[in-house]
Amino acid sequence: MSLLNTWWWLLPLVSGLILALVSGPLGSFVVWRRMAFFGDTLAHGALLGITLGVLSDIHPTLALLLSSVLLALFLYPLQQRSSLSSDTLLGIISHSMLAIGLVALSLARNVRVDLMGYLFGDLLAVGLEDLILISLAAVICGGLIIWQWRGLLATTVSPELASIDGYPVARLNLLLILMLALVISLAMKIVGVLLISALLIIPPAAARSLARTPEKMALMASVVGMLSVALGLMASWQWDTPAGPSVVVVAALLFLLSLTRRG
């Protein structure tokens, strides 16, 4: 049976492409601001949210969204006030939340959860409901990024100068982490808890050597991400490999290819 004669891959492909499209600009801000640990922490904390959602009989997607947003709102002020360095604090919280989530799942003996699907993603299990949610999130985040692009970029380059120029720095920072929380919670279905940061970081890192301006880098990051999704899904279908990890492997290969251009 030819890939072109099947239809089951269409929803996962479109969902992945839309997610990669909005992940490009958001991931660029993650790279510029050195927030890789922040994305990891949100993803790991979301696993605990899934556990609590299952135990309290809340829809998994809603539990993901709520836990990611609440954790983001908790982490942001904590980062500003803690005496520990940012990466140390986030590393402690990230691994602690992941461990607590796994322990809680193991104790919930009467509840069956697809742990491997949450850890490594299950792109081929994406349904129409997931596509609608991802599309809605992409429209919201994409619109906010376009609307607040200058402010987000200014606060990334220099928060002090941005404040002097009249940009609401704290509000823009909060907006960015809430958009990250939204995208990460929905992307977990595709690449999983353990690989979500790779989808945010690798495409912008690959685009960095291909672009001369922030706008071009954000656009190229989306292109690299979408290529990774399309080629990764094709590789998964061809060689029967896990879809989420296959996407990340393709992204890593594109990153290595971008290094040859830099050289």
Which range, 35-44, 51-60, 87-96, 236-245, has the best average confidence (pLDDT)? Answer: 236-245
User: For the purposes of burial, counting CB atoms within 10 Å of the CB of 64, is it exposed (0-12), middle (13-18) or buried (19 or more)?
Assistant: buried
- Please check the confidence at residue 5 and state whether its pLDDT lies above 60: no
Residue 17, Cβ neighbours under 10 Å: how many?
18
Can you give the residue range of the structural domain that contains 24?
3-262
The CATH number covering residue 56 comes to 1.10.3470.10
Residue closest to 189 by CA, chosen among 72, 30, 15: 15
Least confident window among 133-137, 153-157, 194-198: 194-198
Separation CA 104–CA 52 (nearest Å): 8
- Is the distance from CB of 121 to CB of 190 less than 8 angstroms? yes
HSE, side-chain direction, 13 A CA sphere, residue 28? 28
Residue closest to 173 by CA, chosen among 256, 247, 259, 79: 79
State the pLDDT at residue 69: 86
State pLDDT tens for residues 117-143. 677 777 777 888 888 989 999 999 999
Residue closest to 176 by CA, chosen among 197, 139, 151: 151
Residue type (1 letter), 202: I
Q: What angle do CA 131, 228, 236 make, to 5 degrees?
A: 80
What is the four-CA torsion angle of 23, 226, 202, 220, rounded to 10 degrees? -80
User: For the chain, what is the domain count?
Assistant: 1
pLDDT: which is higher, 17 or 10: 17
State pLDDT tens for residues 82-94. 666 677 887 888 8
Separation CA 54–CA 5 (nearest Å): 37
- Please check the confidence at residue 43 and state whether its pLDDT lies above 60: yes
